[in-house]
Amino acid sequence: MSPATQPQPSYSPMELMITVAARYLEDGATVVVGTGAPCAAAMLAQRLNSPNLMVMFEAGGIGPQLPSMPISVGDSRTFYRGVAASSMPEIMGMCQRGMVDYCFLGGAQVDPYGNLNSTVIGPYERPKVRFPGSGGANDLASLCWRTMMLTPQDRRRFVPRVDFVTTPGYLTGPGAREAAGLPPGTGPYKVITNLCVIGFDEATKLMRVESLHPGISRADVEANTGFELLWADGLADTAPPTRDELRVLREEVDPLRYIIGRA
Amino acid sequence: MPEFSERRPELFMDPDVDAARRFFRDKPRRMENKVTTVAEAVRRYVTDGCYIAVGGFGTNRIPTALLHEILRQGRKGLGLSGHTATHDCQILAAGEAFDRCDVAYVIGLEARGLSRSARRLFETGRLRVTEWSNAALAWRYQAAAMGIPFMPARVMLGSDTGLRSAAAEITCPFTGIKLLALPALYPDVALVHVHRSDVYGNCQIDGISVSDLDVARAARRLIVTCERLVPTEEIRRDPTRTAIPYYLVDAVSEVPYGSYPGNMPYEYFSDEDHLRRWLEAEEDPVRLCEFVRRHILDTPDFTAYLELCGGLERMRQLRLRELLIPENVSPAPAAPAAPAVPAQGGDR
């Protein structure tokens, strides 16, 4: 995009994660987002590649023209100039009917099948740490077609087994979601971290690294993962954010640096 | 993990639809004036040990005055439906007002961080806890609102959230697919804050309704606080707008700014400074005690709390923020560039 003579713009890991996530959200898709980075990714996508991306929030906001980053997924920004100010049953019903393409989730722990824990660290009855619980995460990951995860990558977070399956990924492997009764054809799609983009192997439903972010080596990724990862045959390099993407992200999406200032 | 299956997940509320029908049969359906004070409504309907549901969404359109009053009156042993319970959970946890909780989302305040005080309480092991998801609780209310004992759904299947819930797997008699039966949830009392109500309890809500249409119908008793009491004529002029009809409602109190420090759509934005100070006070249990005493226990009512938090001037600022009106008026062109707003109201 930019002439070869221009130096690459610098960017933070968070800016890269948001930018990469935004590229996956195609025009005309529907996505349920939370606050923070996922919301920033959806806003960025709307301003660049996907003006007709339909953004929704679990508390009922549908298609807002977000004037600023929401603080709560139920605050008034989530339906500001929206197409509807609806309800949680409306949004969750839409997910269960099969009309929501993407959701974005994170968690305290994630395992090789993309199962997420946001409930407890340690044994359930005597937890070392208690977290908020599912919220809408279990619902969205059960019902939306594709689950996206946006998360920092380290050994504390990427664990061989989560202490508690708050939210289902591929559970124990191929066929497990269907056997459990979850709608067929759903499940984790991409995990976008500060180091790489991870997909899921069709045959095993295990995490498989698809592209490495600029300056990141295979060893870096391995050092920050608590389990054996699969690697795509044609391992790619993640395209860095363009000047255009960074400008829109910094000037229009998050001018007060609520999200991008964190990294 | 031997501890993992020590306790069977508890179903705190009976989904007995016929018991509920008998109760609702006797619930008065006469149009009568239900206006009362917050203190009286809590005294009459929120009794020690009862199970409550809170409307809104954690820091949005929440019935703060009622929650404060529960602490002021020293209610204990409540059951709590943790359907995105954020600041509401934080208030009730500070008063250790509940001893059991249906958890979908608690402890956290979304993007603002986690409440240390609520977290401590949940980590003590003193609470009885059953796990759910937000949709599960929303649909449990819906089942109760419809008068059926359960709602089938395709969530929580295959997960520990499901195992730690009190839901049951069933097979669909028509399609043969596996479903999760979510038991109807009839709270003893629901607390809901709305934009407008008449004296009978006919209510209008602006913006998202979250799960409140079902919460209002599922609860045996419903206490409503409203930003404004309006003449019934205003309700009758546009009946399309009635979200909660009067026959669901047991008590109505007018509480302007009643969702503060939460957000009230089209009225005022959340007071992020105050919410931050609350989170900071939780760093130390003694400091939190002091904070709660000063802001809640030692204030006679919600108006006094608002005064303590900056009063009308603060409410004006939050109103401008909600309406996206720039807050900085530049009186003289020569004035040097100053910070747009004082960081907060009167309270530090």
Q: Is B211 on the interface with A (CB under 8 A)?
A: yes
Q: Which residue among B59, B111, B265 sits closest to A36, beta carbon to beta carbon? A: B111
- The pLDDT value recorded for residue B345 is 39
Which positions in chain B touch A59 (Cβ < 8 Å)? 57, 60, 84, 208, 210
CB atoms within 10 A of CB B270: 25
Is B179 part of the contact surface with chain A (CB cutoff 8 Å)?
A: yes
Dihedral sign from CA coordinates of B271, B275, B281, B286: positive
Mean pLDDT of A70-94: 97
Cβ B207–A134 below 8 Å, yes or no?
no
The first and second tokens of residue B296, run together, are: 């809640």
Q: What is the pLDDT of residues B189-208, one digit of tens each?
A: 999 999 999 999 999 999 99
A-facing residues of B in 2-31 (CB < 8 A) are 3-4, 6-7
Given this model, what pLDDT does residue B341 score? 46
CATH topology of domain A13-253: Glutaconate Coenzyme A-transferase (3.40.1080)
CA distance A221 to chain B (A): 27
Distance from CA of A30 to the nearest CA of B (A): 18
List the single residue in A75, A129, A133 with the smallest CB-CB distance to B105: A133
- Report pLDDT for B329: 66
Identity of the amino acid at B237: R
* Separation CA A42–CA A36 (nearest Å): 10
Distance CA A44, CA A23 (A): 9
Residue B2 pLDDT:
35
Residues B156-171, mean pLDDT to the nearest whole number: 98
Mean pLDDT for chain A overall: 95
Spell out the alpha helix ranges (H) of chain B: 17-26, 38-45, 64-72, 87-94, 116-123, 134-146, 160-163, 212-218, 232-237, 272-281, 285-292, 302-308, 311-322
pLDDT of residue B331: 62
* pLDDT above 80 for B11: yes
- B6 has a pLDDT exceeding 80: no
Nearest-Cα distance to chain B for A8, in Å, is: 32
Give B156's contacts in chain A (Cβ within 8 Å).
Answer: 134, 138, 142
Q: How far is A236 from chain B (nearest CA, A)?
A: 33
Q: Where is pLDDT greater, at A2 or B198? A: B198
Domains of chain B, each with CATH number or no CATH: 12-150+184-321 (3.40.1080.10)
Q: Mind listing the pLDDT tens digit for each residue in A131-146?
A: 999 999 999 999 999 9
Q: How many CB pairs below 8 Å do chains A and B form together? A: 202
Mean pLDDT of A5-29: 92
- B-chain residue closest to A170, CA distance: B158
- More reliable by pLDDT, B256 or B331: B256
Residues on chain A touching B90 (C-beta within 8 angstroms) = none
**Catalytic residue at A210?**
no
Distance in angstroms (rounded) separating the CA atoms of residues A64 and A96: 22
- Residue of B88, B89, B133, B179 best to disrupt the A interface, most CBs of A under 10 A: B133
Tens-place pLDDT, residues B21-72:
999 999 999 999 999 999 999 999 999 999 999 999 999 999 999 999 999 9
- Give the pLDDT confidence score for residue A9 in this predicted structure: 86
Q: Phi then psi for B252, rounded to 5 degrees? A: -130, 130
Q: What percent of chain B has pLDDT over 70?
A: 92
Percent of chain A with pLDDT over 70: 97
Mean pLDDT of A27-56: 96
Tell me the mean pLDDT in the region A68-87. 96
Amino acid at residue number B62 = I
B57 with A74: Cβ contact below 8 A: yes
Q: Mean pLDDT for chain B?
A: 94
Q: What's the average model confidence in pLDDT over B277-302?
A: 97
Distance from the first to the final alpha carbon of chain A: 26
B288 φ/ψ angles, rounded to the nearest 5 degrees: -65, -45
**Residue B269 contacts A where some CB pair is shorter than 8 Å:** yes
Whether B335 shows a pLDDT value over 60: the answer reads no
Judged against a pLDDT cut of 70, whether residue B308 lies above it is answered with yes
Whole-number Cα distances in Å, A225 to A120, A150, A151, A155, A174 = 20, 15, 12, 5, 22
- Please answer yes or no on whether B265 and A76 come within 8 Å at the CB atom: yes
Contact A119 B56 (CB under 8 A): no
B259 touches chain A (CB under 8 A): no
Residue in chain A nearest B110 by alpha carbon = A72
Instruction: Pick from A65, A138, A143 the residue to mutate for testing the B interface (most B CBs within 10 Å).
Output: A138
The interface predicted TM-score (ipTM) is 0.96
Rounded to an integer, the average pLDDT of B147-154 is 98
pTM attached to this predicted model:
0.94
Disruptive mutation site among A95, A134, A178, A260 for chain B (greatest number of B CBs within 10 Å): A134
What pLDDT digit, counting tens, does each position of A186-229 carry? 999 999 999 999 999 999 999 999 999 999 999 999 999 999 99
Query: Which residues have CB under 8 Å from B200's CB, separation 6+?
Result: B31, B32, B33, B34, B232, B246, B249, B252
Residue type at position A163: D
Check CB contact of B165 with chain A, cutoff 8 Å. Answer: no
Q: Is B254 on the interface with A (CB under 8 A)?
A: no
B272 touches chain A (CB under 8 A): yes
Predicted pLDDT at B1: 35
* Lowest-confidence segment of A168-172, A227-231, B110-114 by average pLDDT: B110-114
For A75, which residue in chain B has the nearest alpha carbon? B60
